[in-house]
Structure 1
Amino acid sequence: MFTGIVEEIGTVRHIEATRSGARIEVAANHAIEGLEVDHSISVAGVCLTVVERDDRSFASDVVPETLARSTLGALTRGSRVNLERAATPNTALGGHFVQGHVDAQTKLLSREAEGDGGRLRFALPKGLERYVVMKGFVTVDGVSLTIAR
């Protein structure tokens, strides 16, 4: 479980195809503090399990369905990704409850500055209309967003 509040932007160090999908290695500073093998971490909004860890990075395996449904399939070395460690009972819940299970990719249609923030308009993937409600939320690349219109 995550909150949709990005802790750090990591950098893809290495990504390679495997028999079961891909292995991705991400360099980070803050988001790897306390992170151990078998812990969950949100990478671009996708819940992944840590399979390797060193002082500056971690690695996770990604299955083909996740590569196809998420933006992880388009990552290359040097890509920047939003990172968030799994929530604990002590985590400040400043966002929303986010599971890290990806339903679809979408396209950003427009971006407008508005006050101290902004308004983003996304294409709504076919078949997901009934799940998107006013004042509900969606998560885009790990960022929790409230539906305004």
Structure 2
Amino acid sequence: MFTGLIEEIGTVKKIVSGSSSAEITIKASKIMDDVKLGDSIATNGICLTVTRFTGDEFTVDAMPETMRVTNLKNLKNGSRVNLERALKVGDRLGGHIVSGHVDGTGRIVGFKEDDNAIWVEISAGREILKYIIHKGSITIDGTSLTVAALGKESFKVSIIPLTQEETTLTGKKVGEEVNLECDLVGKYIERLTLFKEEAKEEKKGIDMDFLKENGFY
């Protein structure tokens, strides 16, 4: 579990590609203070497991499904990535609850300066946008942000100076792909609603409940 508050920007040092997977080594400093084998580190918002580490770098494995649904497939040596260690019990929850399980990707449509802030517009498919609400939380490449505007095919966030400096988002280019994780609540509500509708379908037929509902009993 993570908060979406980026601790450090790491640099990809080496990528060993399999047929559809990858082993990725990332150079870092701050998050290496207490790293252990098997630790979870959110890398561009993706929960990945440390398989090896030294004093200034760690290695993770990305399985085929992760490569398919995230922007890890676009990484190359020298790419910068957002990093966050797993949340400790007792820490302040400054962002929002982030699982590190990416729902899909979006693309940067444009940037617009607004005094000390920068507006970032991101396009996404309906399968993502249906979970996004105005003023709700969204995780973009692992960064917890608030949805400031919402349209039919895109949404916007406003980036404060500290977030501009401490994450990779405003350093990207128009058209670049970003990882998106929607708030968990909407997905749970959708799933419960689906089960409720399925239960209604299964109960169809003439029984005592049907007779009561239709005024025959």
Shorter chain as denominator, the TM-score bin is over 0.9
Q: Residue 28 of structure 2 aligns with which residue? A: 28
Structure 1 residue 20: Cα displacement: 6.6
Contact preservation (8 Å) 2:31, 2:84: yes
Q: Residue 143 of structure 1 aligns with which residue? A: 143
Structure 1 residue 89: Cα displacement: 1.5
The aligned runs of 1:14-93 (5 Å cut-off) are: 14-18=14-18, 21-93=21-93
Q: Residue 103 of structure 2 aligns with which residue? A: 103
Contact preservation (8 Å) 2:44, 2:82: yes
Identity %: 38
User: What is the rounded CA distance, in whole Å, between the counterparts of 1:6 and 1:42 in structure 2?
Assistant: 9
Structure 1 residue 115: Cα displacement: 3.8
Residue 135 of structure 1 aligns to a residue whose secondary structure is coil
Structure 1 residue 101: Cα displacement: 0.6
Moved more, 16-25 or 63-72: 16-25
Moved more, 23-32 or 118-127: 118-127
List, as ranges, runs of 4+ consecutive aligned residues in structure 1 with deviation greater than 6 Å. Answer: none
Structure 1 residue 24: Cα displacement: 0.4
Q: Residue 5 of structure 2 aligns with which residue? A: 5
Higher RCO by CA contacts (8 Å cutoff, separation 6 or greater): 1
Moved more, 21-30 or 102-111: 102-111
Residue 144 of structure 2 aligns to a residue whose secondary structure is strand
Structure 1 residue 37: Cα displacement: 0.7
Structure 1 residue 124: Cα displacement: 2.2
Structure 1 residue 114: Cα displacement: 2.3
Q: Residue 127 of structure 2 aligns with which residue? A: 127
Q: Root-mean-square deviation (CA), in Å?
A: 1.4
Kindly tell me: are residues 138 and 53 of structure 1, through their superposed partners in 2, closer, same or farther at Cα, counting changes over 3 Å? Answer: same
Residue 32 of structure 2 aligns to a residue whose secondary structure is coil
User: What is the rounded CA distance, in whole Å, between the counterparts of 2:104 and 2:8 in structure 1?
Assistant: 23
Query: Over alpha carbons, which structure has the higher Rg?
Result: 2
Structure ranking higher in helix proportion? 2
Q: Residue 191 of structure 2 aligns with which residue? A: none
Moved more, 108-117 or 48-57: 108-117
Structure 1 residue 30: Cα displacement: 0.2
Residue 107 of structure 1 aligns to a residue whose secondary structure is strand
Q: Residue 112 of structure 1 aligns with which residue? A: 112
Letter in 2 for 1:140: I
User: What is the rounded CA distance, in whole Å, between the counterparts of 1:51 and 1:19 in structure 2?
Assistant: 19
